[in-house]
Amino acid sequence: MRPLNAEPIKEQVFLDDYHRKEMVNYGFEIAPTPIRFGRDFTSDIGHEVDKLHIKNPVIITDENVVKTRAMQEVTQSLLPKAHISYDIFDKATTEPTDKSLKYAIEFARNKKYDCFIAVGGDSVMDTARIVALFASNPQMDLDDLLKHPHGRYVNSENPVYPLISIPTTFSLASESDGGLTFKIADKNTMCTICNEAVKPSLIIADPLNVLSVPKNIAAYGALDLFIHALEAFTLKAYMPHISNMPFVTGADLQSIFRITNSISDIWATETLEIMHKYLRRAVQEPEDVEARSQLLMAATFSGMGFRNPAIRLCHTLSYPIRALGKYEKDNPKVPHGLAVAVMAPVAFMFSAYADPTRHLEASRILGQDLAYNSSPQKIGHGLADILRNYLRLFKIPNGLSELGFKFEDLAKLAELGVENFRTSPSSSKEMDQEILREMYEFAWKIY
């Protein structure tokens, strides 16, 4: 096995056609989801529902969040509204699958709900977004999406019922855009769909709702947000091969897959500065109201400002890990943030060759004092060191070897990864199975 400090594999794949001077069709869209940020804003949900003239909402959550302060505030705010009759669906599952989503869709279609209120983390939000889309379009069949698992732009023939999201973790970026992923249970692969219609009508970001998040869940969500910001800030490149994607063309392609830009830079920079100052405290000290509020603020920035850049290398590498999910014997799932985190060190070591200047700027924001003439290798290793220090500090499992995988599974991860890279704009050129196999090998042990 190659040592983690070895020279990154075939770095030239990132250099060709990858410099800013070769960008074409540069552009971005500013269409943020309305976000209300502030302590105790959850208690305003009744008023917000009133403004939308809602009469029959359903609250979508899970069996853990249903017992929390956030749910208590939501139900207490709705109770005085005599004209509102609400139900609670608390069967959303961690890392949703096509089977769990079909169950939730059937539940929603059996009653005529006119609003969906999502209270929880990423999995709850993704469940609610799928349910809102399919409840609003009774003619749609989830099985049709499974025929194009690696990417599908879904048209909504009908207006989607209002969706109000109340996050209880820090990964707000995933709630505020038009893309989501879920696992196809029988095929061990991830399905990605895109539609601006699944964006919430409103996000209520209440810092009091994240104070009860357990340390491990806080770590996964915070690291996911951290890596989103790093990806948004560092990978400034146009990727011409995305025009060959089979499932979307023209304006739709431009609306889904975007490059970073001056607007996203502002918010990503602010997020990285918050992470540098507050990440450790927010994860390790749940009672630290300031730190957890700041991380939720950073998540709000992500929802406002850097949804334009498409996700990049870390996230695309994580999909096969989530698809094969072997972490827990009784519940073999790898949480999204955990899968992204274990691939982050090698991903940024590798991508530093694409734009060393941007990676150097990121490392300096995060407290490293590398010289401006540092080599791409040194810059990439510097960012990897920052990430590994956090992973070690938060007791994140030490690479794929501690996520239930066997060494022979690396070939299967690479095989699944090739399909993801064919339809995800994560590198300047298509990645082959050999490169991916070695990248997963780098992540066998990460610290």
pLDDT for the residue numbered 409 = 94
Residue 22: pLDDT above 90?
Answer: no
Residues in the chain: 447
Residue 310 binned pLDDT confidence (cut-offs 50, 70, 90): low
Residue-wise over 372-403: b if at least 16 C-beta within 10 A, else e?
A: eebebbebbbbbbebbbebbeebebbbbbeeb
* Stretch 153-171: mean pLDDT: 89
pLDDT for the residue numbered 163 = 95
Residue 252 binned pLDDT confidence (cut-offs 50, 70, 90): very low
pLDDT for the residue numbered 143 = 87
Residue 338 binned pLDDT confidence (cut-offs 50, 70, 90): very high
List C-alpha distances in Å: 235 to 121, 238, 259, 425.
27, 9, 8, 11
* Stretch 75-95: mean pLDDT: 91
Residue 365 binned pLDDT confidence (cut-offs 50, 70, 90): very high
Look at residues 354, 222, 221 and name the one whose alpha carbon lies nearest to residue 278: 222
Element at 70 (helix H, strand E): helix 69-78
| Fold (topology level) of 35-209 | Rossmann fold (3.40.50)
pLDDT for the residue numbered 306 = 62
Residue 72 binned pLDDT confidence (cut-offs 50, 70, 90): very high
Least confident of 156-160, 264-268, 302-306, 430-434: 302-306
* Stretch 87-108: mean pLDDT: 95
Per the CB < 8 A criterion, the answer to whether 122 and 169 are in contact is: yes
pLDDT for the residue numbered 29 = 66
CB atoms within 10 A of CB 27: 10
Percent of the chain, pLDDT > 90?
A: 55
| Average of per-residue pLDDT values in the chain | 83
* Stretch 53-62: mean pLDDT: 96
Residue 264 binned pLDDT confidence (cut-offs 50, 70, 90): confident
Give the SS3 label for residue 193: strand
Residue 359 binned pLDDT confidence (cut-offs 50, 70, 90): very high
- Per domain, the residue ranges of the chain are 11-30+213-442, 35-209
- Summarised one tens digit per residue, pLDDT across range 197-230 is 888 999 999 999 999 999 999 999 999 999 989 9
Residue 257: pLDDT above 50?
Answer: no
pLDDT for the residue numbered 82 = 72
Predicted structure pTM score: 0.86
As a whole number of angstroms, the distance between CA 157 and CA 434 comes to 42
* Stretch 281-296: mean pLDDT: 96
> Which segment, 103-107, 155-159, 235-239, 327-331, is predicted with the most confidence on average?
103-107
pLDDT for the residue numbered 417 = 83
pLDDT for the residue numbered 127 = 95
Give the SS3 label for residue 171: coil
List C-alpha distances in Å: 142 to 294, 311, 323, 350, 425.
38, 24, 18, 36, 25
pLDDT for the residue numbered 194 = 74
1.20.1090.10, 3.40.630.30, 1.10.620.20, 1.10.3720.10: CATH of 11-30+213-442: 1.20.1090.10
As a whole number of angstroms, the distance between CA 248 and CA 243 comes to 9
395: left (phi over 0), alpha (psi -120 to 50) or beta: left
